[in-house]
Amino acid sequence: MEENETSHPPIEAPAIPAEPPPSSSGFLLRAWALKVGAPLQWRLSVPLLFGLSAIWLLLWMAIDWWNALPDPQILIAGVPLFAWYALAILALAALLRWRSTPRPAFGMTLLLSLGLVPVPLFLEALAADYLPPTWLILMTVAAGIYGFLYFSRGLTALTGERQRTAAIAGIVFVAGFIWLTDALDVIPDVWAPAEVEAAADNHDAQADAEALLFEQPARIDRALAAVHSASSAGPQAFFLGFAGVGEQRVFAQEIGLASRVLSERYGMDGRGFSLINDERDLERAPLASVSGLRYALRGLAARMNIDRDVLFLSISSHGGQDADIAVSNAQLPLDDLTDEDLAQALSESGIKWRVIIISACYAGAFIDSLKDPRTIIIAAAAADRTSFGCSNDRDLTYFGEAFYRDALPEARSLREAFDKAKSAIAARERREHVDPSKPQAYFGTELEAKLASMDARAP
């Protein structure tokens, strides 16, 4: 009996799904760790590209914010400059792909380029400001070596071949980009300290500086219009003040005191005004400048009897060793006042009788160019010495306190007031153990005799 054999179809093995290509995040982690491994078909993650870009952007803004402490202010004008960096990353990715053989996918070289961003960011935003030069050089060399290995091994993981040429090209590109960025000052500062923000906000005001300076003659004309012309049969006194530095209020305040004390002493009510640099208020008085001083002196001369009347010119500012008076105000383009400028301005005015009181460091350097028998010059310091009290936390300088406030109201003459002030300043400087300022003075004999006849307190 034969058995029937039944044939069965072969049993097929279940299909094993193919493994998906590894994610690009794994590639980036391997590149950061400088691992090569076997070349794989990496799967590019577009969200990773955008996420990484956002993280680096936020990191930059955080560092920028931290550098702008304690009072950071946002600067919207810096935001468009980020396009410069985006173009650089795209160009770097294209360069790495172009110099690699075989050529990897552009998306992966873009991810590789984006992954290096923290290294130059650290060097440029942190290390450059806080490391000493030697350490900064060492850190730069270390960053260059790491960058080379990062590009070389990352490209090897993409292509299976060593890519030293492409890695060197990438490092040269990054170094050149950093240099060019610094040279062009393409820094996307989106946070700035409050004072920088204020300066940016005042940009329009600075653009109007020319208009502000242009209107100064009209301001001086208005001040001159209020000055009473000489009408007495005898000599009269006129006053002109000059506060040179507007960033410190002490100079404007000292000129205000000088005007009051001298006016009371020599009966100058209504016969004087001041040129004031005070950045707290650019409108209350004509501004102090070399050209303004010349213009004001000519205007006063027109209201004086220059053959007999006396000008009291009071100057308060910082002084320089080259016989110059500092002139500055709210970033206006102002020139300093030299001894030659002052001598020329007085000569051009034609005013013959003048008392010149200079409260500034090195003020004694002005004496030689100004002295004559009809001139008195009083200087707060010798030509090679500094004076004291020129800080913004004071109402008056040491000289202003000793001369205008304490000595002049009760002294019988300018000479006596100067001698008292000089002694008081010397005693104060000895107590404070500072180098003596040694105030200087020159008393022209003819003017000294004239003032004796004009001074109610004179013996």
Tens digits of residue pLDDT in 321-358? 999 999 998 788 899 999 999 999 999 999 999 999 99
Which residues neighbour 50 within 8 Å (Cβ) at sequence distance 6 or greater? none
Q: How confident is the model at residue 282 (pLDDT cuts 50, 70, 90)?
A: confident
Calpha distance 109→262 (Å, rounded):
79
Report the DSSP pairing between strands 319-320 and 324-325.
Answer: antiparallel
Give how far the C-alpha of residue 151 lies from the chain's centroid of Cα atoms, to the nearest Å: 41
Predicted model pTM = 0.57
Plot region of 440 (φ>0 → left; ψ -120 to 50 → alpha; else → beta): beta
Instruction: Compute the average pLDDT of residues 299-320.
Output: 95
Q: How confident is the model at residue 12 (pLDDT cuts 50, 70, 90)?
A: low
Plot region of 181 (φ>0 → left; ψ -120 to 50 → alpha; else → beta): alpha
- 257 by Cβ neighbours in 10 Å (0-12 / 13-18 / 19+) ranks as buried
Which residues neighbour 101 within 8 Å (Cβ) at sequence distance 6 or greater? 159, 161, 163
Q: Which residues pair with 23 in a beta bridge?
A: 43
Instruction: Compute the average pLDDT of residues 287-308.
Output: 95
Q: Is the pLDDT of residue 199 over 50?
A: no
**Strands lying side by side in the sheet with 319-320:** 319-320, 324-325, 337-338
Q: Which residues pair with 43 in a beta bridge?
A: 23
Running DSSP on this structure, what letter comes out for residue 59? H
The angle formed by the CA atoms of residues 407, 408 and 409, to the nearest 5 degrees, is 100
| Domains, the chain | 24-198 (no CATH), 218-227+234-454 (3.40.50.1460)
